[in-house]
Structure 1
Amino acid sequence: MADIFDLIVIGAGWYGLAAAKAYIELHPDEKILITEAGSSFGGTWSKERLYAGLKSNNLKGSYEHPDFPMSEDVYGVKSGQHIPAETLHRYLSDLATKFGIAERTRFNMTTTQIESRPDDTWFVTMVSKQEQEEVLHSKKLIVATGLTSQPNLPTYAGQETFTPAFFHAKDFCARGDILHTAKKAAVVGAGKSSFDVAYAFATSGAKVDLIIRPTGQGPVWICPPYVTPFKRMMEELLSTRLLTWFSPVPWGDEDGFGVARSFLHKTGIGRFIVDNFWNQISNEVYEAHGYHDHPELFKLKPWNSAFWTGSGVGIHNYPTNFFDLVKQGQIRVHIADIKQLEGNYIQLTTGEKLDTDALICATGWKKGSGLKFVNFDTGLQKTEAQTRSLIDQADKEVRDMFPILRAQPVLRTPAPSKEPLRNYRFIVPTQSFFKRNIAFAGMVSTVTTAVFANAQGLWISAYLDGKLERTPKNQEEVIKKVMLDTQFQKWRYPCGYGASIPDFAFDSIPYVDLLLNDLGIKPHRKSTQITEIMEPYKPRDYKGLTQQWLESHST
């Protein structure tokens, strides 16, 4: 076995890169290794997962590391443009090189097991592309495998006799040649990735059948990139502090505007204003896409208010109008399940029989790290009865704190009952907080990825070093905070991911405030009170966080 590492980071996507950057800057002389199952940097934006036409939902300026601006003269992306996937891959690879991550990275290393040792160090078992097994030893561990590494591929009756291409959207890049050969394609899914695949086929000349199961959460919210009469970027609304007040969140007071939040969520007049705010957002999207003006478009109208949805939204980032393809019949929408596959045909539960050349499942991802842990429990380490009691207490606290959440939407199929990730600050497993030897980066869903990754990366390094300014006093306090935050997620985003993983929309900036307050860094980054409230937060507002923290801890 090789010498022990001071730190191993598993994963080289946005969060792994940001966590590695922060740790390297704070520990330049330590032995650090970054491992990646793929063959390149980027995670979702790695070379092997790109396909023609793929772009970011985010616009330029909101999807870059604060300390590494995506300059137009280098990357060719102008302000207000969506970022091509190839550019994002190049950018993240450049980031890794600039901050000393690339020289510490090993690709094509799949983690198969993580074992906790009696001395609180870790054995990490990995398998190379050549199927050679290796066990690495590390004092500390950052797990940054993300939420889009394990595809959720359904099975269907008769699929063994199905002759067309059949694969998950994750492999759309590797199977990209099918865009040039398929005349008919079927896409299963209701999220943004299903729209992306359907658009790619339709604009290549294929007839597309988009299949949305009636027992799911319904079509994704697709928002115009610019909204309101003032044509503000949609993503900017999510990161404007004033507008974050309209979203209930237990850590909202971290932004210093508790009085405004209390008025909006604890008074009848305030809740009336909040309701109207969310209705206005929903109606603007309905009108922009004309859901009520065409029977086929009506099938794509979201089934529940945007209030309950979280980060599971998309931005219309296509060169031409996606919805025109639906009106023209190039994309046909079916609200149905697949009953059976046979030969070239897909049999739907509606009785329709679809002839196709390809079936692509944009059916999401298996939530969680997907890693096998030995001698380590990532849960609460409580009995079923104890856990139930803790859940009931937290649920009551959430309902009392935010009465608006009592009126939960009626779902066609209730979310499956399962234990969510129980991590402190959505980062550290509950029972290991005081060991300071492991953290999970990026086990969250948010549209504010770059800002989250930066803040989490620095927080994790400070936490592992035992240098956070604010920490729980004991295990009981850890559990109480974890239960409140994770149960809040279930109540807040029943139409999103809240029941299983942390989901963020308008509550993203307050979460970053929370982490910065833990670090002892001032969360208000604007020059005046007016800009603090009215001007959207961008990655550039968090430039130099690591250096700022270092300077405050130099004595």
Structure 2
Amino acid sequence: MTMDTYDVVVVGAGWFGLSAAKTRLELHPSEKLIVLESAGSFGGSWSQDRLYPGLKSNNFWGSYEHPDFPMIEEVYGVKHGEHIPAAVLHRYLTDFAKHFGVYERTQLNTQVQHAKQDEDGVWELITVVSGVETAIHTRKLIVATGLTSQPNLPTYPGEETFTGVKFHAKSFWEHGDTTKTAKNVVIVGCGKSAYDCAYSYATADGTQVDLLVRPSGQGPVWLCPGYVTPFRRMLEEMLHTRALTWFSPAPWGAEDGYGVAREWLHKTGIGRFITANWWNTMSNETIDTHGFDTHPELFKLKPWQPAFWTGSGVGIHNFGSSLYDLVREGKIRVHIAEITKLDGGDVHLSNGAVLQADVICCATGWSKESTITYEGVELDGLGLPISADEKIRLREEADREVLDRFPILINQPVLRYERTKAEPLRYYRFIVPPSQFSKRNLAFAGMVSTVSTASFANSQALWISAYFDGKLKREPKGDDEIIKEVMLHTQFGKWRYPCGYGDSLPDFSFDALPYVDLLLNDLGLKIHRKATQIAEIVEPYKPRDYRGLTLEWLSMNGGKQGVGLDGE
């Protein structure tokens, strides 16, 4: 087994991995850095082998680009008011890697299987390339494998007899030709990817689609119009408008400098009344726009819980025509049922129905289990030597603080499914396991669910490099402070997004902008980046507002463009 040694290894060549590598190279151009990617191309979720028919971004042009690498219309053919085709995003991220010197430092088709930390904090990684194992040593490790690496593919009784083809939505690209040949398609799931697949099949000639809403699941996704409110504002712009983020509770909310406004909205009676009505109006607009209450089949796709309790899982209706018209026309039939067994070409449902199918596409989400096994590091729970009783006390203390600060969270929704009892990811700033903080050799980039991908990737990348270098302007004072904050932030997620991912991992919606503020405050960088105070409150933040962030950091810390902190 051969051996290579690096200063930094980044695992993953999606948004977060590429941003982490780009920023590290800008700050330390002389370091030996490599990016290891299991796929055969760049892009992560937008890699070449995941570009299924009709796939495009939920985000509009202008909100899904790296701050330092604009998606120029003349180059990429996408303009204001348009969603970005998946093939364009794949090309863009590949160009990004080339532009910032990451391309030639990336090794594709490389699976990292094992990471072992020795007593000195050095990592040994076991990688597999074409069946051959290789050992790599690195002083610092950035894991950016994301949350959509391992598909959750269910199995059904009798599937060995199934005469059609069954696959996960991740593999839709492999089976794209079935949109031209399939006559009867069953889609399992009712999230955005399920709707993407259903739309592709239903708009083909002569294809009947049956969409299964599983009673054991979370129900139909909130699929919002791209433009909302009478003022026709882009939903993603509303998510990143400061004044509107105040309506969403967040323990890091005051990082934006408007803590008084936030406290009034969430602690006073009239403030809570205004906040509740604002959220109800947001939900009702989507319900009225799609006509869920006007048609019996559409009613089956009405979300089960108010949008308030759902985080980043909210989708945008970015199809060329109305998905819901296809339901009205019967081209997509909706069933609230589970698959009980397969028999040849028959699909038996729990409601007694039997469907014909030559394709079963399972849009059934992702496994949150890591693709890497770790040794010499504790990643579960807090990862610190704390007794079980003390963990319970800390959790209860955090719960009390969350509900005291945000009474709107007390009346939790009644769910149709059992919530997970597993511990959520409890990382400091959602990046560093508490047990590893003092070692400064491990960080997780992109272990969050968010629609603010570009801004998150950029700010997390700079935060990670500053943390590795011991140059954060604000750091916790010991384990006690780390534990208290981590417990507060992660317990908040369980209360805030019970219909999203809050039970298991960080989920973000209207609380995304103040999270970026949190990281920038740690770095000592300016958070109010608009031209005027009014603009700061009412104008939406876009990735371009954070252009040159790394150069600002370099200037503040004695480096300069083209040189970095290495001085070379």
What's the TM-score once normalised by structure 1's chain length?
Answer: 0.99
Out of 482, 488, 491, the residue aligned to residue 478 of structure 1 is: 482
Q: 2:260 is paired with a residue of what secondary structure?
A: helix
Distance between the aligned counterparts of 1:285 and 1:311, measured in 2?
A: 16
Q: Say whether residues 1:413 and 2:417 are aligned partners.
A: yes
The percent identity for this pair of structures is 60
Distance between the aligned counterparts of 1:278 and 1:268, measured in 2?
A: 16
Q: 1:427 is paired with a residue of what secondary structure?
A: coil
8 Å CA contact 1:146–1:369 kept in 2: the answer is no
Distance between the aligned counterparts of 1:156 and 1:456, measured in 2?
A: 40
Cα drift, residue 388 of structure 1: 1.9
Cα drift, residue 3 of structure 1: 3.9
Q: CA offsets, 1:252-279, max 9 Å, x none?
A: 0000001100100011110000000000
Q: 2:125 is paired with a residue of what secondary structure?
A: strand
Q: CA offsets, 1:314-363, max 9 Å, x none?
A: 10000011000000000000011111111111110000000011001000
Q: CA offsets, 1:403-456, max 9 Å, x none?
A: 111100000013111011110000001111111000000000001111110000
Change (3 A) 1:469 1:368: farther
Q: 2:139 is paired with a residue of what secondary structure?
A: strand
Q: CA offsets, 1:438-491, max 9 Å, x none?
A: 000000000111111000011011011110000001011111110000000000
Name the residue aligned to 1:281. Answer: 282
Name the residue aligned to 2:334. Answer: 333
Name the residue aligned to 1:156. Answer: 156
Give the number of aligned pairs. Answer: 554
Q: 1:138 is paired with a residue of what secondary structure?
A: strand
Distance between the aligned counterparts of 2:177 and 2:397, measured in 1?
A: 54
Cα drift, residue 368 of structure 1: 4.5
8 Å CA contact 2:65–2:454 kept in 1: the answer is yes
- Write out aligned runs for 1:195-274 (5 A): 195-205=195-205, 206-274=207-275
Q: 2:334 is paired with a residue of what secondary structure?
A: strand
Q: CA offsets, 1:131-189, max 9 Å, x none?
A: 11111100000000000001011111111221210110000001211111101100001
- Write out aligned runs for 1:127-206 (5 A): 127-128=128-129, 130-205=130-205, 206=207
Name the residue aligned to 1:35. Answer: 36
Distance between the aligned counterparts of 2:388 and 2:373, measured in 1?
A: 22
Name the residue aligned to 2:354. Answer: 353
Distance between the aligned counterparts of 1:349 and 1:358, measured in 2?
A: 19
Distance between the aligned counterparts of 1:548 and 1:51, measured in 2?
A: 39
The residue type equivalent to 1:121 in the other structure is V
8 Å CA contact 1:251–1:514 kept in 2: the answer is yes
8 Å CA contact 1:368–1:443 kept in 2: the answer is no
Name the residue aligned to 2:535. Answer: 531
Distance between the aligned counterparts of 1:223 and 1:471, measured in 2?
A: 39
Q: Say whether residues 1:84 and 2:88 are aligned partners.
A: no
8 Å CA contact 1:368–1:421 kept in 2: the answer is no
Distance between the aligned counterparts of 1:2 and 1:100, measured in 2?
A: 23
Name the residue aligned to 1:457. Answer: 461
The residue type equivalent to 1:163 in the other structure is T
Q: CA offsets, 1:339-398, max 9 Å, x none?
A: 111111111000000001100100000124332101211132334333222211111111
Which stretch of the first structure deviates more once superposed, 499-508 or 110-119? Answer: 110-119
The residue type equivalent to 1:164 in the other structure is G
Q: Say whether residues 1:425 and 2:429 are aligned partners.
A: yes
Distance between the aligned counterparts of 1:13 and 1:168, measured in 2?
A: 20
- Write out aligned runs for 1:15-30 (5 A): 15-30=16-31
8 Å CA contact 2:377–2:436 kept in 1: the answer is no
Q: 2:294 is paired with a residue of what secondary structure?
A: coil
Q: CA offsets, 1:38-70, max 9 Å, x none?
A: 000000000000022111000000000000000
Q: 2:277 is paired with a residue of what secondary structure?
A: helix
Q: 1:414 is paired with a residue of what secondary structure?
A: coil
Which stretch of the first structure deviates more once superposed, 380-389 or 292-301? Answer: 380-389
Q: 2:490 is paired with a residue of what secondary structure?
A: helix
What's the TM-score once normalised by structure 2's chain length?
Answer: 0.97
Q: Say whether residues 1:398 and 2:399 are aligned partners.
A: no
Q: 1:278 is paired with a residue of what secondary structure?
A: helix
Change (3 A) 1:154 1:383: farther
The residue type equivalent to 2:457 in the other structure is A
Distance between the aligned counterparts of 1:265 and 1:323, measured in 2?
A: 36
The residue type equivalent to 1:401 in the other structure is R
Q: CA offsets, 1:279-314, max 9 Å, x none?
A: 000000001101111110011000101000000011
Q: CA offsets, 1:63-111, max 9 Å, x none?
A: 0000000000000001110000000000000000000000100000011
Q: CA offsets, 1:221-259, max 9 Å, x none?
A: 000001111111111110000000000000000000011
Q: Say whether residues 1:502 and 2:509 are aligned partners.
A: no
Distance between the aligned counterparts of 2:124 and 2:163, measured in 1?
A: 43
Distance between the aligned counterparts of 2:543 and 2:533, measured in 1?
A: 19
- Write out aligned runs for 1:437-456 (5 A): 437-456=441-460
Cα drift, residue 2 of structure 1: 3.0
Distance between the aligned counterparts of 1:320 and 1:183, measured in 2?
A: 21
Name the residue aligned to 1:492. Answer: 496
- Write out aligned runs for 1:61-72 (5 A): 61-72=62-73
Q: Say whether residues 1:107 and 2:111 are aligned partners.
A: no
Across the aligned residues of Structure 1 and Structure 2, the Cα RMSD in angstroms comes to 0.9
8 Å CA contact 1:191–1:362 kept in 2: the answer is yes
Distance between the aligned counterparts of 1:161 and 1:195, measured in 2?
A: 27
The residue type equivalent to 1:159 in the other structure is E
Distance between the aligned counterparts of 2:77 and 2:459, measured in 1?
A: 27
Distance between the aligned counterparts of 1:273 and 1:368, measured in 2?
A: 40
Name the residue aligned to 1:120. Answer: 121
- For structure 2, the 5+ residue unaligned runs are 560-568
Distance between the aligned counterparts of 1:83 and 1:552, measured in 2?
A: 35
Distance between the aligned counterparts of 2:6 and 2:352, measured in 1?
A: 59
Name the residue aligned to 2:517. Answer: 513
8 Å CA contact 2:4–2:135 kept in 1: the answer is no
Distance between the aligned counterparts of 1:139 and 1:35, measured in 2?
A: 15
Q: CA offsets, 1:191-226, max 9 Å, x none?
A: 100000000111113110000101211100000001
The residue type equivalent to 1:406 in the other structure is I
- Write out aligned runs for 1:9-20 (5 A): 9-20=10-21
8 Å CA contact 1:310–1:503 kept in 2: the answer is yes
Q: 1:458 is paired with a residue of what secondary structure?
A: helix
Distance between the aligned counterparts of 1:95 and 1:368, measured in 2?
A: 29
Distance between the aligned counterparts of 1:191 and 1:355, measured in 2?
A: 22
